[in-house]
A and B are shown apart, each in its own frame.
Chain A
Amino acid sequence: MLDTASRTDAAWPRSRLRRPGRRTLIRAGVIAALFLFALLALPQLLSLYYVDAMTQVAVYSVVTLGLGVLVGRVGLVSLGQAAVLAIGAWVAARLLFATTQPYPLVLLEAGVITMVLGTLIGLPALRLRGLYLALITLMLAGAITVVLTTTNFPNGGHGFLGYNGSTVHIPAIRRPSIAASDPAYYRYAVVVAALMFLLVLLHIRTRPGRAWAAIRQSESAALAAGINTTLYKLWAFALASFVTGVAGGVLAGAVHYLYSINFPTQDSITLLAVVLMGGAYSLWGAIIAALLLQLLPAVLNNWGVSADWLTILFGIGVLQVLTTAPRGLADQVPKDLSRLGRLLRRRLRRPAQAGGDPA
């Protein structure tokens, strides 16, 4: 046995275990290319109307990313992410009006404050399992929505709430000086979104990601393996809240004016719907979800078709995903959209396959 052990040891040095496969490198290249295209070329190709829509896509892709981590990676369903986004937007707006801090700092602060709030709320909630956790997030989100309706979003007023109910001329929420125009702000949003995606990717590839995978598989097995499940679940909540808070900050600058009716309770439900449809597990799914949520309505509106059809579509989508997914909400098996993507990739790769990594 000693002989076999040392043979294995020699056969698998650290470098061999950690080497990124060829497939990973190709994928990274494709992603980089797409990112550059979205950043540089896209705003030139689209009308201002669609640039605006794509800015919203960038913002919401971060929100769906956060929800995707919770649902797809850890197996926690939150029905309150729209409220978290509202909090992030609120904090950012307040800071932007009250201070002259540079934009990146404001975004960071919005993210951190939202993260702290999200974690505080998550702390007691995490004792609950599955259904009850989802319901309590719904309840908390509802409560926050009510508060927001009453306190309103900051609009340049004074006091803690920064809301002046009687001003006639409401100042616009400012944008960073380098990104004042819509196309420029779109690029800003894309860069911020990319950074958030990188942050999440970093988590997934390292210890928290592995712990989440274990927790999703079976919480008792994870505990038995020594994983502090409460800590890692909180970490997921904190991460999701942070990125969503930052997204809220970007949203504030994008729309210039925030109103509580822009954050209805139903948004949290449609958020979950598109995340499920896009595929909760993969990071691509987050982008697809954001496209469904923000680009499609813009397209439909342009064609004079009511966005209500999308609401109906999302409802059907939820039912379809849940009835066909064999292993529950946090399922790895790709849904129709990403299944299509895989099929295409396989087709494209077949001529190039020459004894490379197993598909």
Chain B
Amino acid sequence: MPSWADFQPFIVSGLALGGVYALSGVGLVVLYRATGVVYLAFGAVGAMGALIAWSLINANVPDWIGWLVCVLFGGAVTLAYGMVFGPPLARRDPLVKAVATLGLTLVLFGVMDLLWTSSGGASRAITLPTDNSGFTIGQIQVTWTQVIGLAAGVVITVVTAAFLRYTKLGTAMRALANDREITATLGVPVRRVEAAAWLGCGLLGGVAGLLLADLVALDATTLTFLVISSLAAALIARLRSIVVTFVAAMAIGLIHDLLTPIQALSNYRDMTPFVLAAVALLAVSRHRVIPGSREEA
């Protein structure tokens, strides 16, 4: 069993990772509540944004422009998808809506592989200036990037929770989550509210993509499927509570990284989000009695 000292660096990295999962998870939950769509392409848009940023930075474009493009790309693609494919699928089962986003994922995946072929040897990387500066807490080294990761998670969670509760737009989103039709009859501009939700989620996707590209790896497959960790957190929160999403995301990030120094389990640590999500889903379903017909979905 590794010592406390062995675990320490992983607590930091786990918190940072958890923070990014949290901000992603919050984005997923808010979008789901507003539109009923589980946005499985979240990771893919972030991945492609990060790759675009990398290409730009490599072409000597100022770093901050690259990052901005990454975030905006996430927002733009997500908004475009939401506006084009949202309405025709609006009345369908959440399953159909989610599978549709898988279609987007495949498209992005194919484009990424086409434009940025997995070049055998040289690996790409995104580095933020905050990677190299940091401070130490006791024995542990902490980079500012990691602080940003954690802070972003906390800030987004708090801001989103407040936004949903106290602003007009946020309240409208909560109303939409309850019933789209009734909300429309109340004079709420449904399309505009949904657009805001899509855009917000997409922007968060871009941010998450950038941070994960830095903290983990700049690789299309890795980044695309990291969405599952955030999804796991959202599922644990039953796609409802922002706060639970945050807690779950932190837990997933921490557990994942804390398994690293444990020899016997280290290789299996990537299973963490899958296992936790599966357990959460099963725990949620324990009370079902009504099978419900398709109409009741």
Interface residues of A (CB under 8 A from B): 77, 124-125, 127-132, 134-136, 138-140, 142-143, 146-147, 149-150, 217-221, 223, 229, 264-266, 269-270, 272-273, 276, 306, 308-319, 322-323, 328-329
Please indicate the chain B residues that have their CB under 8 angstroms from the CB of A138 in the complex: 228
Are the C-beta atoms of A315 and B106 separated by less than 8 Å?
yes
Q: Given A130-B94, A147-B268, are A140 and B274 neighbors across the interface (CB < 8 Å)?
A: yes
CA distance A138 to B235 in the complex (A): 13
Q: Which residues of B contact A135 (CB under 8 A)?
A: 38, 98, 231, 235, 277, 281
B68 at interface, CB cutoff 8 A: no
User: What chain B residues lie within 8 Å of A310 (beta carbons)?
Assistant: 110
Min CB distance, B171 to chain A, in Å? 26
Q: Which residue of B is nearest A266, CB measured? A: B109
Query: CB distance B106 to A273 under 8 Å?
Result: yes
Contact A318 B110 (CB under 8 A): no
B residues with a Cβ closer than 8 A to A are 38, 85, 88-89, 92-96, 98-100, 102-111, 113-114, 221, 225, 228, 231-232, 235, 267-268, 270-271, 273-275, 277-278, 281-282, 284-286, 288, 290-297
| Pair A128/B107 contact, Cβ less than 8 Å | no
Check if A132 sits within 8 Å of B92, measured CB to CB: no
Verify B278–A139 contact, CB threshold 8 A: yes
Q: Are B103 and A139 in contact (CB under 8 A)?
A: no
- In Å, the complex CA distance between A333 and B72 comes to 39
* Most chain B CB atoms below 10 A, which of A127, A220, A314, A319: A319
* Chain B, interface SS category: helix
Whether B103 and A273, one on each chain, are in contact in the complex, defined by CB atoms closer than 8 angstroms, is yes
A323 touches B100 (CB 8 A): yes
Given A220-B291, A273-B106, A309-B110, verify A328-B93 contact (CB < 8 Å).
yes
Task: Determine the chain B residues whose CB is within 8 A of the CB of A127 once the complex forms.
Answer: 282, 285-286, 288
In the complex with contacts A270-B106, A272-B99, A322-B103, A129-B113 CB distance below 8 A: no
For residue A149, which residues in chain B have a CB less than 8 angstroms away from its CB? 267
Q: A140-B278, A147-B268, A312-B110 are in contact. Are A229 and B291 (CB under 8 A)?
A: yes
A312 touches B111 (CB 8 A): yes
Contacts of B231 in A (CB 8 A): 135
Q: Is the CB of B297 within 8 A of A132?
A: no
Separation of A134 and B296 alpha carbons in the complex (Å): 18
6 further A-B pairs in the complex, CB-CB below 8 A; given A129-B288, A270-B106: A135-B281, A136-B281, A139-B273, A143-B278, A269-B102, A319-B100
Q: How far is the CB of B136 from chain A (nearest CB, A)?
A: 33
